Amino acid sequence: MKAAAGLLRDQGPAAVTTRRVAHEAGLQPPALYRFFQDKDDLLDVAAEHVFVEHVACKQTTAPSDDPVEDLRAGWNTQISFGLANPYVYGLLLDPARARATPAQVKGVLILAERVHRIAAAGRLRVSEERAVNLIRSAGIGTVHTLLTLPPEQSDPGLADAAFDAIARAILVDEPAVVPTQDPAAVVATFRTLLPELPGLSKAEDALLDEWLRR
């Protein structure tokens, strides 16, 4: 797995052949089929291995007192990973191979936790789900654009500009208070308090959450 991940990261999917991987791992080629069904399976596992290491590094970052800056730091880390690992990133996002791997699920959960902290601070103007999806969409598009731009059209400030655009779409300048000019921010903040509200049954809690989503 480590041998396949190294070849994928450095040379791309074409380099990940059973013969090459077996040689790098000190095995005979037929031995690989005891662990992997075929080359596609090997590629999927290799991509997941690289992404697991990336997610593990994100988990070691302790949150600061500013959830918005933590979100920006996470954005920068994700963009850097995509630019440094174009082959892996391409495989993870290939619609023909798309699947929710454990590392990808964990990565989304880390993002959702950061967005939840922003909502709890009264800074979110949209639902947490919408914010997560907007951030993911913008991040994927930014990495794809930067990877495919011709060198003469390189735009080093594109990632920062994309984050600023997303921030304007999902954040309010000041924490939501009552009265407020942005009721959606109050609703998004209130949703974060639902688990702490006393006296509600699970059904009532779910119904209230549905109303707030609307």
Which tokens is 164 given? Answer: 């600023």
> In the predicted model, what is the mean pLDDT of residues 54-65?
81
Give burial (CB, 10 Å; 0-12/13-18/19+) of 150. exposed
pLDDT mean across residues, the chain: 87
In this structure, what are the phi and psi dihedrals at residue 77, rounded to the nearest 5 degrees?
-65, -45
Does the pTM of the predicted model rise above 0.85? Answer: no
Measured CA to CA in angstroms, residue 157 lies from 16, 76, 80 at distances of 34, 12, 13
162 pLDDT band, cuts 50/70/90, is: very high
Rounded Cα distance, 184 and 26, in Å: 59
pLDDT at 73: 94
CB 47 within 8 Å of CB 92: yes
pLDDT value, residue 214: 85
Angle between helices 86-93 and 128-148 (to 10 degrees): 130
Instruction: Calculate the alpha carbon distances from 55 to 65, 73, 124 in Å.
Output: 22, 14, 25
52 has pLDDT over 70: yes
d(CA 210, CA 89): 35
Quote the percentage of the chain above a pLDDT of 90.
37
* Section 161-168 average pLDDT: 97
